[in-house]
Each structure stands twice: as C-alpha cells, then as structure tokens.
Structure 1
C-alpha cells in the first residue's frame, strides 16, 4: 500500500499550548585559573607548541553557582574539562607575551585532548600579530565559546600556544564563564 501526499492549502492554526516552566537565569558566575602577578614565566621557542597554564597549584578564584558550583574546569595537568554535553562556556584567555624578535605572531588553539597532534588539529584557533618592537610586552585577551560534545567529555580539551618568534609568556590566566547548562 502506498501513500500519496498532495500539497495544498494550509489549514487553520491550532490553539497555543500551555506555557512551560520558567528557565534558569543563566547567571552561573565565573572562575579564574592562573596568576596575575607574573611570577610564572614561560620561554617559548619559535615554532614549538606549549600548553597554556599546565602547572599546579595555581590561583583559583571562583563564584560559580547552580549546576556549576564546585566544578573544576581545569585539572592539574592543564586539561580543560566539561561538566555535561550540551553545556556552553565562554573562555577568556589572557597572557602577556614579550617577543624576542620583531614581526611575529602568537597562535592560540583549543583542541580535544585525546587527539593532540599540534595546532593543526585545533577545534578553534586564533592568530594574534605581535606588532610592537622586540622586548615590548603585548597584553593578549582572546575569547572563545565552546559547546562540549562526547569527545570533549571523554578526553577534555587542551589550550596550546605557538609563536613564530621566540617569546616570553607570563600572567597566563583563564576565565571560564558558563553560558548554558544542559538539562
């Protein structure tokens, strides 16, 4: 038996259903990982990958609320963790970079930790030009929005840096702001 559908005129609109419960405000707070005083310094050779904030202990200042209260987004190995598939997070990465040569760039990449093959495998990446003279500090602040899926949940994600010229990095700080909590 076959069914044939013939497009025709739309019927009358039905009545509006009941309204669902009020959603969560979405104000889940922010957590900061890192240090602001520049005590930790990383000398990054040209064209090599280096993890962003890998050492523990580190300064953690947070005011996370709701389903994110007490959740550790960054583990002791510098791996970014997700609470649940379908959540959404804003990541603000801040670092001071002092290039040792003029005319380079700094690339920041985020990729699934179980698939680390250098920045070529990045889930998201940004390239920041280092346009001032050698020895001049550059304050870098980049925003990323991530929505974790199964690979992120299973393996976490790594934040990696690569520079085209030798660079000294300090004040590496990560702010994580949950935007959406999956049901």
Structure 2
C-alpha cells in the first residue's frame, strides 16, 4: 500500500481533502430538513460535473491531475447522493411507522369504546333469549347476538391487520437504519 502512495505523489492530500469535504457533506445531510431538495441539488451538481469531464476520463485512468480531481469529486457527489437517498428512504419509513402508530392508538381506543357496548349487547341478548318464551323474541335476540359478535370480529381482524402492518414497518425501518459511513483517515 505504501508503494502505491509513493507512486502517486500529491494524491493523499487530495484524498484527505475529499474526505473532509465528504464529512462536511454528510453533516449537512444530517442537519437538512428537506432531503429531496438537497438530493436534487447534489444530483444537479453531479450532472454538471459529469458534463464538464472529458469522455475519455470515464473510460480508464485519467491522464492528468485536473481530470483525476474531477473524477474523485464526481465519485464524492455520487456517494453523497446515495447517502441522501438512504436517509430519505429511512425518514419516509419513520413517518410511515409514526402514522401507523397513531392509527394503532386510535384503533385501540375505538376498539375499547365499541367492544364494551357490544359485550353488553351480547350478554343482554343471551339473557333475553334464555328468559323469553316467544319464538320471535328468541330469534331477534339471536340476531342481535350474531350481529354483535360479527362487529366484534371485524374490530379484531382490523386490529390484527394494522398490528401486522406495524410490525412489517418496524422491521423495514430497522433494516434501513444503519450507522453512517465516514471516511477513515490514517
């Protein structure tokens, strides 16, 4: 490795400078509130710098230092664009998980508020059926009980669907959240 550094004088200071600029860029990414706008700016700059390069530079080793610097800067912008995209995806997933958590809390409150009266309806319809001698009353109480149980099962199914969606969202969020990669010096 040292032999390679000796063969490319001046490359190490440029690399250190690029790492410093890259770290500044990552810091800006962390502090940015509008990741989509920042990503658009980085990609615009990337396209501008790509357009400024000679076509043969991208085919192999750059033949002069200016083109080598342009290529390294281009790689840095691509790296920052990738970091921005990952951060934007993670932020969107966090927002989705937060919305889902709000839905879960709302559903929990609604379930409680609906299930309590349903339990009363089911219990009263069973009492009515057991004490009624009239077949029409028995039939009506069975219909009330059946409808109440169906509503309770809908609430239970909806809760299960939302809960499963929440777990999947949390899994995806944990997969996309990972430590920031920083340039290592020395």
- TM-score, with structure 2 as normaliser: 0.21
The higher relative CO (CA closer than 8 Å, separation ≥ 6) is in 1
Give the number of the structure whose residues are more often helix, by fraction.
2
- TM-score, with structure 1 as normaliser: 0.21
